[in-house]
Structure 1
Amino acid sequence: MKKFLSIATAVLSVAACTSDHDGWTLKGDIEGGAGKTVYIEGSTIGNWYLIDSVAIGEDGSFDYIAAKADSLPTIYRIRLADKYIYFPAQGTQTLTLKANAKSFDRGFDVAGSPLAVEFTTVDRLINKYIDSLGTEAARQDKNLKTELMLMVNKDTTCLTSYYIVGKFIDKRPLLNLSDRADLRILGNAANNYKRLYPNDPRGKDLEQRYMAARRALPSSGRAMEAQMASKPDIAIARYDINGTLRNFDDYCGKGVTVLNFVRYDHKNSPANTVALNEVYTKYKNAGLKIYQISFDPDEMNWRRSAANMPWTSVWNSPTEGYGILLAYNVNPDGGPVSFIFDRNGDLVLRVSDARDLPAALARYF
C-alpha cells in the first residue's frame, strides 16, 4: 500500500514515487475523511480489479499518481467503504475530486478535463431523478432515459456513452435491456463506437451486448412484408423550432406514421414538401403523424423552412452525429427519404421517391 499524507510527509512520499509513476494524477479533498483509506480500481471490459490504496491525510486530502499514462481515455473508480465514484483519465492530466465521506457517491465533483465534467454531469442528472422519484421509479423514468439518450447522441468521445450504458444504481443496471427503448440507447452507443472508433474493444463489447439482448427480445409475432426491414433499434429525439423535445417513439405506434429524412437545401426538397402536404391534408384527421428530421448543415435554413410546416419538424445538428442516418441507411445528399410505420409501430415501407408517397400511404387508410 502506498500512503500519501497531506502534510509535510506527503512531499517526501510523492517525490519517492515519481520515479516509477508518470501517469495521470488525482488530487482529492474528502470532507470527514481523515484517517480513512480510498482504493483506486481499474477495469478490463467491466471486470474491476484493485490497483492501489491511498491513506487520506488529517486535513482530508490525498494525492495519487498513476503508474503509467493511458494513451486513450480510460474509466477508473475510487472506493471509500462501499461507495464508488467513477472518473475518466488519460495521459498525464491532473484531476481533482471533492466529496464528503458520509455521502461519498452523492454530491461529489470531479474536474480537470471536459470528459471528467461530462461524467459528473451524468451522475448529477441520475441523482436528480433519484432524489425526485426514488431509485426504482428513476430507473424506469422515460424522461431520464431520453436525456441520457441525447447525451449518447452528442458524445464524440464514446467514453461517456460507454459509462452511461454500463451504469448501475443500487447494484442493478440502469438500463433494462428487455425494454426496447433502453436497448436503443445501447444500440446508439455501440453504433457511435463503430462509426468513430471501429477498432476499440469497448465498442465491440457494446455491439456484442446489444446483439445478445436483441436476440433475447420476444418476437412481436407480426410478419413484415418481404421487402421491408425491421425498425432500427436506435432512439430518435430532437428539438423543434420552439425548443420542445420531440421523441419519435411518442408518435410511432399511435397511428400511421411517416418518418421523413430531408435536407431542405436539396433540389428534391420542394417535391418532398408537396407530397407530405398532400398526404397530411388528406389523412391528418384519420390519425396520420409525420415526423420530419432535417440534416441541413445550416440551422437557420432549417428554421426558415420548418416554420412553414404543419407537421413535426426537428433538426439534427452536425454535432449530434449521423448515427440515425447509418441506422436507417440514408444518405441525405441523395434526396429525401420516407419510412412508413403502420398503426402497430412496425416499419412497412421505404419510399425513396416522394411522388410515390401518396399511393404508398393509401393502402393503410
Structure 2
Amino acid sequence: MNRSYLAVSVILLLTAACQPSVNRFTVNGEIKEAEGKTLYLEQIGLSKIVALDSVKLDSKGEFSFSSPSPENCFDFYRLRVDRKSINLVIDSTETLRVTASLPTMQSNYQIEGSENCSKLKEIVLLQMDLMNNLRNTISDSGAMMVSLRQQRINELIEIFKTDLKNGYIFPDPSSPCAYYSLFISVDGQMVFDPQGDRDDAKCFAAVATQMDILYPDAVRTAHLHNTALKGMVKTRTATTESPESSETAQTLESLVEEIGHFEIELPDVKGKVRTLGSLKGKVVLLDFTAYKTDWSPNYNLTMRQLYNKYSSQGFEIFQVSVDPDESFWVNAAVNLPWVCVYDENALNSNYLKLYNVQSIPAAFLIDREGNLVDRPEDQKSLDEKIAKLLAE
C-alpha cells in the first residue's frame, strides 16, 4: 500500500475520532397522496421558524430527517407541506415515525416514539375543535344579539382553557405540553392572558417555576420567566392602590406567594427522593443550611429543640443542605429526626435562586395548605410563629 495514502487515512481517522459527538433526533415516515410536493422539517423558535431540511416526496411519500437535538431544553418542530403541518416536540435523541395523508395531514396523522408528541397531538385536536365551534357559533348566530354571541364565544374559550389546565398544565407543569398550552392563540390572540387574568398568570407562574429548576439556562425558560413576572406585576397592579407595591412583585418571592411555594425534589441520606409538597397538611419549616460550618452544631441544636417541642402537633422540618462535601453531610444528618435532603449543586443550587436566598442559614414557614407565609429572622419569632400556625 502507498505509504502516503496510509498516512492520510490514519490522519483522517484520528481527526474523526477527536470530533465531539453531536446528539441527534430522527423523524421518518410516510406522507401519502403528496407526490411531487416538498416536505419541510422546521424548527419553531420564539421569534421565527427555521427550515432545517427538506425532501421532494415521490409516489411512496417516504422521508427521513435527522437533526441535532435541542440543547438545555425541549424544543418544538413541525413537518410541513404547503400550508399543512404536524407539530412535534423534541427533548432528546428520540426517533419518531409519522404517517399521514396530505389531505388530512393536520388532524388525522399517526405518530410513534414520543409520549410528548402524542399529548401534543391531543392538544392540537382540542384546538381544532375549539376553532370549529367558534366558526359554527359565528355562522349560526343569525339574528342573535352580539352580547349573547360573545358570551357563547367566551364560554367556549373558557371550556378549552379548563381542559388545558386540568389535562396538561397543572398535572405536570414541567412538561413541554404545559409550556405549549400557555402560548396557544386563536386568530392571533393568546388564549391565556397572563397580564389581564389573575388565574392565567398563575398558570404561567406554575410552569415557570418548574422550568427554572429543570432548564435554568434555556432561552425559553428566560422568556417564560419574564412573561410570568410581568403578568404578576400587571394583575397585582390592578388590585393594589400603591404603584410602588407592584414593584416588589418583580421578585421570585412574589411568585411563591401566588402559587404557594416552589416545589423541591431532592434525595435524603438514603437516596430516596423527598418532595416539599408531600408534607402538605403539616406546618413546615423549610431550612437552607450547610453542615460544615462553625455555626451548624448550635443551629441544629435549635432546630432539634423546635422539632421536639412541636413535631407531635403536626410540625415538620424540611432541611436542604448545600454543603460542598456530601459525605460530611451524610454523616452529620443520618441521625437527625426531620427530613434532610441534599443538593449536589451546593451554593450554585437553583433552589437558592428560586427562594432568593442571599445567605445561609435561611428559613421559611409554610402553612398546612402549602402556602409560604413567612421568613422569620430570629429564633424567638420563629418559635412564636410556629405555635401560631399550629393553632390555626
TM-score interval (norm. to shorter) = 0.5 to 0.7
Number of residue pairs matched by the alignment: 290
C-alpha distance 55-298 of structure 1, shift in aligned 2 (>3 A): farther
Specify the alignment match of 1:301 in structure 2.
Answer: 328
Match of 1:86 among 85, 89, 96: 89
Match of 1:166 among 141, 155, 179: 179
Task: Confirm or deny: 8 A CA contact 2:169 2:181 kept in the other structure.
Answer: no
> Does 1:266 pair with 2:266?
no
Question: Percent of aligned positions with the same letter in both sequences?
Answer: 19
Residue 327 (structure 1) shift: 2.7
Specify the alignment match of 2:366 in structure 1.
Answer: 341
Over the aligned positions, Cα root-mean-square deviation in angstroms equals 5.1
**Structure 1 stretches of at least 4 aligned residues deviating more than 6 Å after TM superposition:** 24-27, 49-52, 70-74, 124-127, 216-221
Specify the alignment match of 1:186 in structure 2.
Answer: 208
Specify the alignment match of 1:107 in structure 2.
Answer: 112
Task: Confirm or deny: 8 A CA contact 1:272 1:354 kept in the other structure.
Answer: no
Of 50-59 and 321-330, the range deviating more from structure 2: 50-59
Residue 99 (structure 1) shift: 0.6
> How far apart in 1 are the matches of 2:325 and 2:227?
36
Task: Confirm or deny: 8 A CA contact 1:42 1:48 kept in the other structure.
Answer: yes
C-alpha distance 272-33 of structure 1, shift in aligned 2 (>3 A): farther
Where 1:167 maps in the other structure, the secondary structure is: helix
> How far apart in 1 are the matches of 2:282 and 2:356?
24
Specify the alignment match of 1:4 in structure 2.
Answer: none
> How far apart in 1 are the matches of 2:203 and 2:67?
40
C-alpha distance 339-204 of structure 1, shift in aligned 2 (>3 A): closer
> Does 1:139 pair with 2:168?
yes
Specify the alignment match of 2:268 in structure 1.
Answer: 240
TM-score by length of 1: 0.58
Specify the alignment match of 1:54 in structure 2.
Answer: 55
TM-score by length of 2: 0.55
Gaps of 5+ in 1: 1-23, 90-94, 109-119, 128-133, 150-162, 222-228
Task: Confirm or deny: 8 A CA contact 1:184 1:235 kept in the other structure.
Answer: no
Task: Confirm or deny: 8 A CA contact 2:28 2:97 kept in the other structure.
Answer: yes
C-alpha distance 98-287 of structure 1, shift in aligned 2 (>3 A): closer
Paired AA for residue 268 in structure 2:
D
Matches within 5 A, 1:220-259: 231=256, 234-251=262-279, 254-259=281-286
Paired AA for residue 266 in structure 1:
T
Specify the alignment match of 1:15 in structure 2.
Answer: none
Deviations 1:167-191 (A, max 9, x none): 249x699x99737586243145358
C-alpha distance 72-269 of structure 1, shift in aligned 2 (>3 A): closer
Larger Rg: 2
Residue 64 (structure 1) shift: 7.8
Residue 164 (structure 1) shift: 6.3
C-alpha distance 166-140 of structure 1, shift in aligned 2 (>3 A): closer
C-alpha distance 43-35 of structure 1, shift in aligned 2 (>3 A): closer
Specify the alignment match of 2:343 in structure 1.
Answer: 316
C-alpha distance 62-344 of structure 1, shift in aligned 2 (>3 A): closer
Matches within 5 A, 1:327-338: 327-331=354-358, 334-338=359-363
C-alpha distance 208-74 of structure 1, shift in aligned 2 (>3 A): same
Task: Confirm or deny: 8 A CA contact 2:169 2:177 kept in the other structure.
Answer: no
> How far apart in 2 are the matches of 1:295 and 1:167?
33
C-alpha distance 139-323 of structure 1, shift in aligned 2 (>3 A): same
Paired AA for residue 78 in structure 1:
R
Which of the pair is proportionally richer in helix?
2
Of 255-264 and 29-38, the range deviating more from structure 2: 29-38
Residue 283 (structure 1) shift: 0.6
Paired AA for residue 238 in structure 1:
L
Where 1:166 maps in the other structure, the secondary structure is: helix
Gaps of 5+ in 2: 1-22, 101-107, 122-162, 241-252
> How far apart in 2 are the matches of 1:59 and 1:86?
22
> How far apart in 2 are the matches of 1:213 and 1:297?
37
Of 291-300 and 33-42, the range deviating more from structure 2: 33-42
Structure of greater relative contact order (alpha carbons < 8 Å, 6+ residues apart): 1
Specify the alignment match of 2:28 in structure 1.
Answer: 29
C-alpha distance 84-320 of structure 1, shift in aligned 2 (>3 A): farther
